[in-house]
Amino acid sequence: MKKSPNLIFHILFLLLLISPSVFSWKKDEFRNCNQTPFCKRARSRKPGSCNLIATEVSISDDGDLIAKLIPKTQENNESQDAPVEVDSKPLLLTVSVYQDGILRLKIDEEQSLNPPKKRFEVPDVILDEFLSKKLYLQRLSEEKIDNDLGFSSVVYLDGDYEGVLRHDPFEVFVRERGNGKRVLSINSNGLFDFEQLREKKEGDDWEERFRSHTDTRPYGPQSISFDVSFFGADIVSGIPEHATSLALKPTSGPGVDGFSEPYRLFNLDVFEYIDESPFGLYGSIPFMISHGKARGSSGFFWLNAAEMQIDVFGTGWNAGQDKIMMPVDEKRIDTLWMSEAGVVDAFFFVGPGPKDVIRQYTSVTGRPAMPQLFSTAYHQCRWNYRDEEDVFDVDSKFDEHDIPYDVLWLDIDHTDGRRYFTWDKVLFPNPEEMQNKLAAKGRHMVTIVDPHIKRDDNYYIHKEASDNGYYIKDASNRDFDGWCWSGSSSYTDMVNPHIRSWWADKFSYGNYVGSTPSLYVWNDMNEPSVFNGPELTMPRDALHFGGIEHRELHNVYGYYFHMATSNGLVKRGNGKDRPFVLSRAFFPGTQRYGAVWTGDNTAEWEHLRVSVPMLLTLGLTGISFSGADVGGFFGNPEPDLLVRWYQLGAYYPFFRAHAHQDTKRREPWLFGERNTELIREAIHTRYMFLPYFYTLFREANMTGTPVIRPLWMEFPAEEETFSNDEAFMVGNSLLVQGVYTQRAKHVSVYLPGEQSWYDLRSGAAYKGGKRHKFEALEDSVPAFQRAGTIIPRKDRFRRSSTQMGTDPYTLVIALNSSKEAEGELYIDDGKSFEFENGAYIHRHFKFSNGKLTSSNAAPSGAGGNRFSTDCTVERIILLGLSPAPKSALIEPANQKVGVQLGPLTIRHGNSPSFLTIRRPNVRIEDDWTIKIL
Amino acid sequence: MNKKKKIGGLRRLFEISIVIIIGCICAITRSAAAAAAKDDQFLLLLGVSPQDEDYYKGLLSSPSSTIKCKDGSFKFSTSQLNDDFCDCPDASDEPGTSACPNGKFYCKNAGHIPFSLYSSRVNDGICDCCDGSDEYDGKVKCPNTCWEAGKVARERLKTKIATYQQGVTVRNRLVEQAKLAIAKEEAELSKLKNEEKILKGLVEQLQERKEQIEKAEEKERLQKEKEDKERKEAEEANLKEKQNGEQVESSEADALKNDIHDKIGEQVESSEADALKNDIHDKIGLLGDSSSSQDVMDGHGDSESEAQHGEFDVKEESPIGDVKPLQEDSLLHATEKEEQLTVDGQPGLDTGNQAEVEEDNSESLSKEELGRLVASRWTGEKTEQQTEEVSSTKDKNHGTEEEDAYGEEYSSYDSEEDDHRYDNDDGDNEDQMDDFGGEDHDDSSPSYKSETDDEPDLPAEPSWLEKIQKSVRRIFQAVTFFQTPVDKSEAARVRKEYDESSAKLSKLQSRISSLKQKLKHDFGPEKEFYSFYGQCFENKQNKYVYKICPFKQASQVEGHSTTRLGSWEKFEDSYKVMQFLNGDKCWNGPDRSLKVKLRCGLNNEVTDVDEPSRCEYMALVSTPALCVEEKLKELQDKLDMMNKEQPTSHDEL
């Protein structure tokens, strides 16, 4: 009996090995730059190796500056490492100018020379409205810059800027008019390279192999790369999605350790992604924003949907290179942009402020959609709420514990065998009744609809899609067949507008059986995720409508899917109901179609921490409505972490708790009374600030300015804020600092600016412009209202935001040193598009000279419709006013009301020590003044 | 049709509410004012519970009177009571509005049960109180449904009381029976312990005698061997030239075999056999968790239950010739299995290795295999499943039928083992391996069932012990000393007597240990759970059969595969919950566990099983053991109260 123990030991040993941590990010499964030929090539190129010069520079009939890029004739051809391509044809360069200081640069092969294929340009991202803002160039001036032999062509930009095309060597930049200071440039380091399409020759091996996958690459190499320089920049940020810091760390140059891979933009479904990595995640936005104390902000956007890799160079990266054409004294950040395919379609945004850059960027790609009010409240999700009973149980427990929530989510297992648009007949026999039951309490539901369609002939979606040829094809032109949740699956070709329209129709109440008006949608896996594909996604040689290769549009696929779904919900409600669709993949323009979240994060403190820079970055790149899974998707958060996550998540623009099916249940009431209380408090905080959040969503909708912002967006001249991504601003009035360590005793918070900050909990004032050390309180993360602001709140809590509609407001006025403050409030019906026709209320509050004035902030003649409400103001709290007045006078009613001491938030019953105007009961939509007597 | 109506109704409701929002002016204050004019007293005390009426009395005398908030923090006047503005942090000034977030609103619900709502429910457009009193601002009209709802509730309560009434009787009987049974068993135990002591002494004597005899025999044998050898050597010397080497070899081999045979024979017969057995038991104990080792313990020394365990039979009865090949075989077997574990992907256990396997193998996988493998990261469907899928897809077309993760997991487990059996035409060994792997938990139930009915195995009359004593005495009287050569029949008699006695002793000890084991358990404050011992409650849910055996273990059975949900831990929550812990490991999750909530019911039955969190199960069991008299009184009081508080008229609002 000797070997039985052996076996036993073996089994025990294997048992020991079973632990979740064994599963983690599978680095080998994804390509790094060295395994990606175009990236490797571009990275190894030396500064100044571009030998293109601009010729035939002129103004076209369309009012653009056009030129041809040709290789410079090689008089001194000593550099053997850059052999000149004999068959290199001239490239066509186009510079267009738009209102608000936007320069657009396009470089493509010249179609008149009949390249083997038309290179892909991403449709449906740039707004028609933007195109109509083009300025027709009349003339260009020529000048000599520095000691150039050749000329440079200069065009006028809107505002105080000029666009410059330097001919030899070729370079395009934007500069300030007058002083000639550069803002933003391309090819200043001479790294530009454009692989032109050519016919395959005998002996050409264009195939690329990675692990077990082979990419046939029938069109051969076609990559593009170039350098972009941001002048006067202390930091660059943007290019989501990466789980890393807000200010992008250098990836190349001296002193780069750990971050030696470029930032990758390639939409991928990464299992258990890690924080602090330049690795590409679910979405891609090739838009970078710079910021510096000296000048402010500028932005660069490359509209290109192929795989992209971006290097940020550390200072001194090009030391010893003599071919650089830049002034050496400039403080700047150089970057290298590399893409596998497509064309150069680049936008230069001059700023000069951070908000200006985002306004300029979102004027091209669109402003964030106005969300429904309910979707800005709290969402409860889990993979999976198993059946109707489970749903009702969770729903009623929220009521039992007096915790509000607005939306309950159903993940993949609510369907009949992961056939989306269907219901599991056993688990969800009466979906309509279920939704209606929740809707009766003003609550909504969300179901998941993913792009992988189960290949089952009895499944109507598959039947229609395969019969009509709506699927993406593989390289041999058969319906692509990949593996995902539903097993063997195909993917509808959302690039085709006709197919998008077909898809949108699937959401009608008639087609989506079991759906009701209170049901909204979640798009997951739309990178697209293909479990058995290369890097867990679709092969690059798969074919789309019009013969477009998947490689050319990979990053935009999820966007079209999101768009089609969102359009479906608009259609469903006859254009009257704002859609709500959450997407995991994203691309420039996603902000027009709905919210995104940061995918499958993990219940770890570091993931809590990294959620802030990730969401701030999304906001900087137009996607304001974003969140991270509260609690962490994978793993079981310890109660401390879960509570801190709720406390921080309450300030995420999109506030949803979610968990993997293998995790323990973690609904708010499962961690003991105290933790339930703390989580309830955190969720209540969100509900209290809903009017403020909704106002911020409207601001984003109007200007692109994100709901949550880096500190430097509000305090652009304070260097101390540039690298701070642990704290953030909610609008311009609130500063929130997360707590990112277990059982933290103290939190250090930098409060920027010259004005004071009022602690949201205690009401105590703290000086700005310095770092404070606070005791870490169990019951909230540090949050402050900035002096000089007025925040509208609703302090009454209901089951969901729906019941808060007629509840009265509380205004909190935090006075600055000159006893003044300002704020805004936006209200509409919370769900329809009527606000676009003027059916909204926009108030401006101003306190000065001891008098609060509410005035209309809506532009006159903003559409003919009106929105009205009976809501009143029940309480006005004044912070920073002394001495204490006894009463106040309301005009025009000429009515006196009492001023007394009251608590800052009535929930906490903290000592009543703040001046409170009691029951002014003025209507929120009216003009009025309240004078402190 | 129905659906459309509902949607329409909902829309209408929504339209109405919009109209109201737009149309009505400051509903709260206005209606409050209007109502105040109508009925001051009513409005002032809106939402106040009867216990609190005294507290507010002081405010009703005059409009200018003031009282302190309950927490003493602040003073408020009559005009501030229910004026829709929160003055007291503890909400005492706003019992009837939603102004204070921590407040409670009391609805009388005449005809039903009075109820205190969170103040956040007041005038929120949703009817919460069955008397409709929480919605008074005119936004919605709430019909009074208390009478109907109360009727239903009363009926339900009556039924419950009836169950309790019967249940209490049953329970009392159970408690009586349990007390008697336990007393009986305790008596038996002490008796058995006495007998054990005596028998042990006898067995020791016999053993001593037996050893003496054996020593003598051994001596004889050696002597004989020596003589044989001398004789043989002589013969060999004579026949040396005639004989070939082969014969020598074969006879030597025979001798060697005989030798070993004898030695092992001795071991088996001697107490070393027990030691070996114990050793094996220990190892099994190590391998399994408490429950499986307990099963083994229960079986230990009990020849009845041992007989049900194949491996023990082999060990105890196998002559030497069988033992050796068995060892070789299973050694080989284990190696094979190990290889499979690492190469094929660790049947059922190793997910840790999966990563490696993936890295190693994913390149060679088919597309579908790869897809499943990657999907399994999120789902936790185990690798062996993939492996199974892989092998099955290689051979045949695998159905794409979706199955529950568990279903797949365990069916693949089965098929894997089936395959295994086919591969190795050695059923016995396979079974043995299974037992060692601690997987085949079904096996444990017969052995533990035997506990309840193993009593008759021991001779009932007390004379058996005397008989043995007598016969042993006879032996010692007859053979006071022994000489060489040993008297064969005498030796046989001693051996037989020894064998019989020690068999009886071990049977006795087993009974003692199982009684001890049983009586050690916590059967509840009144021993009301005594009857649970040795019982299993079953419940079928779809394809699973859940088997809950209190004081033992709980399992989920699907076809031939069994998943252990946990072994008995303890009662919790003052005997309202049974906790089973440390069940089979979950992928990427905790060990499985089961909580059984107990309810009063007339029979012991499992009414529901659920898995609210992955691998954390929850079952409902109804049992008369929970039908407590105090609770019955409570329910009756509640019914009396409900009957009292019937409304005077049905259309109060």
pLDDT over 80 at A480, yes or no: yes
Q: Residue ranges of the alpha helices (H) in B24-95?
A: 27-38, 40-44, 53-60
Give the per-residue pLDDT at B444.
Answer: 36
Enter the tokens of residue A659.
Answer: 């968990």
Q: What is the pLDDT of residue B435?
A: 37
**H or E stretch covering A300:** strand A296-302
Domains A36-365 and A808-933 share a fold: yes
Token pair of A505, please?
A: 């129709």
Banded pLDDT at A863 (limits 50, 70, 90): low
List the single residue in A8, A18, A432 with the smallest CB-CB distance to B351: A18
Residue of A nearest to B334 (CA): A7
Position with higher pLDDT, B267 vs B236: B236
pLDDT for the residue numbered A454: 97
Please compute the mean of the pLDDT values over residues B310-334 and round it to a whole number: 42
- Quote the strand ranges of A167-220, DSSP E: 171-176, 182-186, 193-194, 208-210, 213-215
Give first-to-last CA distance, chain A, whole Å.
97
Contact B21 A870 (CB under 8 A): yes
How many C-beta atoms lie closer than 10 Å to residue A509's C-beta?
17
**Residues 6 or more apart from A862 whose CB is under 8 A from it?**
A838
Return d(Cα A812, Cα A347) in angstroms, integer: 41
DSSP-derived 3-state class of residue B526: coil
Q: Do A14 and B341 touch (CB under 8 A)?
A: yes
Cα of A790 to nearest chain B Cα, Å? 21
- Angle separating helix axes B367-379 and B383-395, nearest 10 degrees: 160
Tokens of B485: 């050569």
B61 pLDDT band, cuts 50/70/90, is: confident
Chain A contact set for B101 (CB, 8 A): 684, 795-797, 906-907
When comparing pLDDT for B32 and A635, which is higher? Answer: A635
C-alpha–C-alpha distance, residues A439 and A799, integer Å = 11
Checking if the pLDDT of A357 tops 70, the result is yes
Residue B471 pLDDT more than 80?
no
Cα–Cα distance between B472 and B505 in angstroms, integer? 14
pLDDT the model gives residue A28: 84
B355–A26 C-beta distance less than 8 A: yes
Instruction: Assess whether A524 carries a catalytic annotation.
Output: yes
The percentage of chain B sitting over the pLDDT mark of 70, rounded to a whole number, equals: 58
Residues whose CB is less than 8 angstroms from the CB of residue A929 and which lie 6 or more positions away in sequence, other chains included: A851, A852, A853, A854, A890, A891
From chain B, the residues in CB contact with A796 under 8 A are: 98-99, 101, 120
Catalytic, A600? Answer yes
For residues A753-778, average pLDDT: 95
CATH superfamily of this structure's domain A36-365: glycosyl hydrolase (family 31) (2.60.40.1760)
Higher-confidence position of B319 and A38? A38
pLDDT tops 60 at residue A81:
no
What's the confidence (pLDDT) of residue B464? 73
Scanning the structure block, which residue is given the tokens 């205004």? A811
Asked if the Cβ–Cβ distance from A919 to B83 is below 8 Å, we say yes
Contact call for residues A364 and A126 (beta carbons, < 8 A): yes
How distant, in Å, are the alpha carbons of A274, A284, A545, B52 from that of A25? Answer: 7, 19, 34, 60
Range with the largest mean pLDDT of A111-115, A316-320, A809-813, B305-309: A809-813
Q: Could you tell me if B476 and B468 are in contact, meaning their C-beta atoms sit under 8 angstroms apart?
A: no
The one-letter amino acid at A614: M
CA distance A662 to chain B (A): 6
pLDDT of res. B559: 85
pLDDT in tens, B599-640: 999 999 999 998 887 888 999 999 999 999 999 999 999 888
What pLDDT does residue A309 have?
A: 97
Q: Do residue B29 and residue A921 have CB atoms under 8 angstroms apart?
A: yes
Nearest to A555 by CA among A589, A523, A527, A530: A527
Exposed e or buried b per residue across A345-363, where buried means at least 16 C-beta atoms within 10 angstroms of its C-beta: bbbbbbbbebbbbbbbbbb
Q: Are the C-beta atoms of residues B206 and B493 closer than 8 Å to each other?
A: no
- Collect all residues of chain B within an 8 Å Cβ-Cβ radius of residue A663: 589, 613-614
**Domain definitions of chain A by residue range:** 36-365, 375-452+497-531+555-694, 808-933
pLDDT at residue B438, rounded to an integer: 37
Highest mean pLDDT: which range of A559-568, B467-476, B506-515 = A559-568
Measured from the Cβ of residue B485, the count of other Cβ atoms closer than 10 Å reads: 12
Tokens of B404: 């529950």
pLDDT at residue B460, as a whole number? 53
pLDDT above 80 (res B440): no
Per-residue pLDDT at A907: 78
A344-349 vs A102-109, strand pairing mode: antiparallel
**Three-state DSSP state, A867:** coil
Task: Determine contact, residues A932/A925, Cβ cutoff 8 Å.
Answer: no
Rg, C-alpha atoms of chain B = 39
Mean pLDDT of A355-372: 98
Q: Average pLDDT, stretch A663-685? A: 96
Instruction: List chain B residues with CB under 8 Å of A909.
Output: 71, 73, 89-90, 102
pLDDT in the model for residue A520: 98
Overall pTM surpassing 0.90 (yes/no): no
Q: pLDDT tens across A141-169, in order?
A: 999 887 777 899 999 998 799 999 999 88
Tell me the count of A-B CB pairs closer than 8 A: 222
Nearest-Cα residue of chain A relative to residue B332? A3
Out of A532, A665, A903, the one facing B371 most closely (by C-beta) is A532
CB neighbourhood size of A328 (10 A): 5
The pLDDT of residue A605 is above 80: yes
Q: How confident is the model at residue B206, as a pLDDT?
A: 85
Give, in order, the Cα–Cα distances in Å from B189 to each of B194, B412, B500, B522: 9, 46, 22, 18
Closest by CA position to A205, among listed A194, A195, A215: A215
Cα(A525)–Cα(A49) distance, integer angstroms: 41
User: B588 and A23: CB-CB below 8 Å?
Assistant: yes
CATH code for A808-933?
A: 2.60.40.1180
The DSSP element (H or E) to which B437 belongs, if any, is helix B427-437
- pLDDT at position B446: 35
Res B203: pLDDT: 87
The whole-angstrom separation of Cα B343 and Cα A833 is 60
Which one-letter amino acid corresponds to residue A531? F
Residue B466 Cα, gap to closest chain A Cα (Å): 40
**So what's the pLDDT on residue B272?**
45
The Cα of A145 is separated from the nearest Cα of chain B by a number of Å equal to 56
User: What distance in Å separates residue B27's CA from the closest CA in chain A?
Assistant: 8
Query: Residue B370: its chain A contacts at CB < 8 A?
Result: 212, 483, 531-532
**Is the CB of B125 less than 8 angstroms away from the CB of A11?**
no
Structure tokens at B252: 């030597």
Q: Determine the Cα–Cα distance for residues B49 and B114; give it in Å rounded to an integer.
A: 9
| Percentage with pLDDT > 90 across chain A | 84
Query: What domains sit in chain B, N to C, each tagged with a CATH number?
Result: 7-147 (no CATH), 530-624 (2.70.130.10)
pLDDT of residue B47: 93
pLDDT digits (tens, 9 = 90+) for A434-459: 999 999 999 999 999 999 999 999 99
Q: What is the pLDDT of residue B41?
A: 64
Strand, coil or helix: what is A296?
strand
Cis peptide leading into residue A528 (ω within 30°): yes
Model confidence pLDDT, tens digit, residues A254-311: 878 767 899 999 999 998 888 888 999 999 999 999 999 989 999 999 999 999 999 9
Domain range A375-452+497-531+555-694, CATH architecture: Alpha-Beta Barrel (3.20)
Q: Tell me what percent of the residues of chain A surpass a pLDDT of 70.
A: 94
In this structure, are residues A565 and A559 in contact, taking their beta carbons and an 8 Å threshold?
no
pLDDT digits (tens, 9 = 90+) for A403-417: 999 999 999 999 999
The tokens for B148 are 């109907």
Asked if residue B81 has pLDDT above 80, the reply is: yes
Both tokens of B570, joined, read: 């303890």
pLDDT of residue B71: 87
Q: Please choose, from the candidates A789, A824, A788, A830, the residue with its C-alpha nearest in 3D space to the C-alpha of residue A809.
A: A824
Residue tagged 């109901």 (tokens): A577
ipTM value greater than 0.90: no
In contact, B367 and A483? CB cutoff 8 Å = yes
Q: How far apart are CA A806 and CA B25, in angstroms?
A: 10
Mutate to test the interface with A, among B16, B30, B85 (most CBs of A within 10 A): B85
Catalytic residue among A64, A108, A493, A524: A524
Q: Which residues of B touch A908 (CB under 8 A)?
A: 89
